[in-house]
C-alpha cells in the first residue's frame, strides 16, 4: 500500500512539473487555431444547435435541450481564446473572439426570431431555470472547462468526452437571452446573460489553469492573463453568491407554501398533490400546483387558498391550480 502511494505521488509530481516541447506546443496552437476560426461548419452548427435548443426550451423538453448541447460549437473558440491569452498570440485571440461573438449574436437573433414567431405568453421551467444563475453554475463551468482543456492537451483522452461535458453550459443560456428579449422580459434576459458570462469566464479560466498545469505554458509567463481572468471571474462571485442565498431562501419558502396548502386548507385536503413549482421571476411569484380531484375546484376556492397563502407567508403570491379529474369506471352499467 505504501509503495503504491509513493508511486502515485511520483506520478502526480511528474505530471505537474513536466514541460511540453516546442513542437507539442506548436501542434496545440495549430489545433486550437483551426477550431477557433469562423468557418462555414461552425456557422452551420451554431444554427442547428440554436434551433434545437430554442425549440427544446419552448417545449420544456430536457431531452431535446441535451441534443443541442452535444453539437453546440461555442466551446471551441473559448479554448483558443484561453491559449491565445496565455501565449500572447493576438491574431489567434482576435479570430477566437470574432467566432465567439458572431456565434453568440447569431444564436440570440435566431432564438429571438423563433420566440416572436411562436409567441408563447408563459415559459416553462427549463427557461426559468436559466434566469437565476448561482455559485453552483460557476462550479459546473470550471469543471467543464478543465475537462475540455485536458482533453485537447492530453492526446490519450478522447476529445468527444470534453465536447459532451462542456457544451451543456453555453447554448441554452444564449437562446434564453433571445427568448427573454422576444417576451420583453428584462429580468429573464439579464439573468440568462449573467449565466452565459459565468460559463464563459469560468470555462476560460479553467482552460488557462489546465494549460499551465500540464506544462504547455510556464506559470511566470501566464501569470498576468491568469490574474486578469481570475479577477473578471471574481467580479461575478458577488451576484452569484446573492443568487445562491436567494435560491436557498426560495426552497425554504416553497416548502412552507407546500405545508401551508396541504395542512392549512380544507379544500386542498380533498385533493391529491402531483407536483408544485414556483416562478420567482414573476411579480408576484406564481405558484403552479398540479393536483388530482374528484370534484371540481371553483375559482372562489382558489381565491381563498391564495389569500391564505399570502397571510401565512406575509407576501403576495398568485396561485394557479392545474386540476386533473378522477373518473371512476366499473363493469356495471349505470342505473337509469
Instruction: Write down the pLDDT at residue 93.
Output: 93
Instruction: Write down the pLDDT at residue 101.
Output: 95
Per-residue pLDDT at 302 exceeds 70: yes
Instruction: Write down the pLDDT at residue 231.
Output: 92
Mean of pLDDT values over 329-336: 60
Instruction: Write down the pLDDT at residue 158.
Output: 58
Instruction: Name which of 246, 249, 260, 255 is nearest 311 in CA terms.
Output: 260
Instruction: Write down the pLDDT at residue 182.
Output: 93
What are the DSSP calls for 233-273, one per residue?
A: HHHHHHHHHHHHHHHHHHHHHHHHHHHHHHHH-HHHHTEEE
DSSP state of 334: P
Buried residues in 149-164 as b, exposed as e (16+ CB within 10 A): bbbbbeeeeeeeebbe
Per-residue pLDDT at 334 exceeds 70: no
Instruction: Write down the pLDDT at residue 269.
Output: 64
* pLDDT tens-digit readout, 68-119: 887 888 888 998 999 999 988 889 999 999 999 999 999 999 999 999 998 8
Do residues 48 and 73 lie in contact, with contact meaning Cβ atoms separated by under 8 Å? no
When pLDDT is cut at 50, 70 and 90, the band that residue 17 belongs to is very low
More confident residue, 6 or 45: 45
Backbone angles phi, psi at 124, to 5 degrees: -85, -175
**Average of per-residue pLDDT values in the chain:** 81
Residue 89, phi-psi category: left (phi > 0), alpha (psi -120 to 50), beta (remainder): beta
Quote the percentage of the chain above a pLDDT of 90. Answer: 27
Per-residue pLDDT at 326 exceeds 80: no
When pLDDT is cut at 50, 70 and 90, the band that residue 256 belongs to is confident
Angle at 222 between CA 219 and CA 208, to 5 degrees: 100
Angle at 76 between CA 74 and CA 77, to 5 degrees: 85
C-alpha–C-alpha distance, residues 82 and 96, integer Å: 9
Instruction: Write down the pLDDT at residue 312.
Output: 76
When pLDDT is cut at 50, 70 and 90, the band that residue 180 belongs to is very high
C-alpha to C-alpha distances, 53 to 57, 195, 304, 331, 332, nearest whole angstrom: 6, 16, 39, 47, 50
Instruction: Write down the pLDDT at residue 96.
Output: 93
Mean of pLDDT values over 211-231: 86
* pLDDT tens-digit readout, 185-212: 888 999 999 999 999 999 999 999 988 8
Amino acid at each position: 500500500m505504501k509503495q503504491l502511494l509513493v508511486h502515485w505521488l511520483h506520478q502526480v509530481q511528474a505530471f505537474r512539473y513536466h514541460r511540453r516541447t516546442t513542437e507539442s506546443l506548436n501542434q496545440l496552437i495549430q489545433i486550437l487555431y483551426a477550431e477557433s476560426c469562423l468557418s462555414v461548419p461552425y456557422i452551420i452548427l451554431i444554427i442547428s444547435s440554436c434551433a434545437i435548443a430554442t425549440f427544446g426550451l419552448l417545449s420544456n423538453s430536457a431531452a431535446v435541450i441535451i441534443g443541442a448541447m452535444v453539437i453546440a460549437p461555442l466551446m471551441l473558440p473559448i479554448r483558443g481564446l484561453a491559449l491565445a491569452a496565455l501565449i500572447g498570440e493576438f491574431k489567434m485571440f482576435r479570430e477566437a473572439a470574432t467566432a465567439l461573438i458572431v456565434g453568440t449574436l447569431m444564436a440570440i437573433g435566431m432564438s429571438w426570431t423563433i420566440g416572436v414567431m411562436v409567441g408563447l405568453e408563459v415559459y416553462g421551467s427549463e427557461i426559468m431555470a436559466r434566469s437565476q444563475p448561482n455559485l453552483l453554475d460557476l462550479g459546473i463551468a470550471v469543471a467543464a472547462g478543465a475537462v475540455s482543456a485536458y482533453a485537447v492537451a492530453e492526446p490519450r483522452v478522447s476529445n468527444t468526452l470534453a465536447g459532451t461535458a462542456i457544451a451543456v453550459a453555453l447554448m441554452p443560456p444564449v437562446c434564453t437571452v433571445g427568448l427573454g428579449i422576444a417576451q420583453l422580459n428584462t429580468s429573464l434576459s439579464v439573468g440568462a446573460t449573467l449565466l452565459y458570462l459565468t460559463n464563459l469566464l469560468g470555462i476560460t479560466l479553467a482552460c488557462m489553469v489546465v494549460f499551465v498545469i500540464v506544462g504547455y505554458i510556464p506559470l511566470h509567463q501566464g501569470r498576468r492573463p491568469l490574474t486578469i481572468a481570475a479577477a473578471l471571474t471574481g467580479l461575478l462571485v458577488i451576484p452569484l453568491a446573492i443568487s445562491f442565498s436567494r435560491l436557498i431562501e426560495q426552497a425554504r419558502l416553497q416548502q412552507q407554501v407546500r405545508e401551508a396548502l396541504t395542512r392549512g386548507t380544507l379544500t386542498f385536503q380533498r385533493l391529491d398533490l402531483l407536483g408544485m413549482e414556483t416562478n420567482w421571476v414573476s411579480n408576484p411569484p406564481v405558484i403552479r400546483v398540479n393536483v388530482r380531484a374528484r370534484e371540481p375546484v371553483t375559482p372562489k376556492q382558489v381565491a381563498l387558498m391564495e389569500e391564505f397563502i399570502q397571510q401565512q407567508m406575509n407576501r403576495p403570491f398568485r396561485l394557479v391550480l392545474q386540476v386533473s379529474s378522477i373518473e371512476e369506471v366499473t363493469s356495471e352499467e349505470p342505473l337509469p
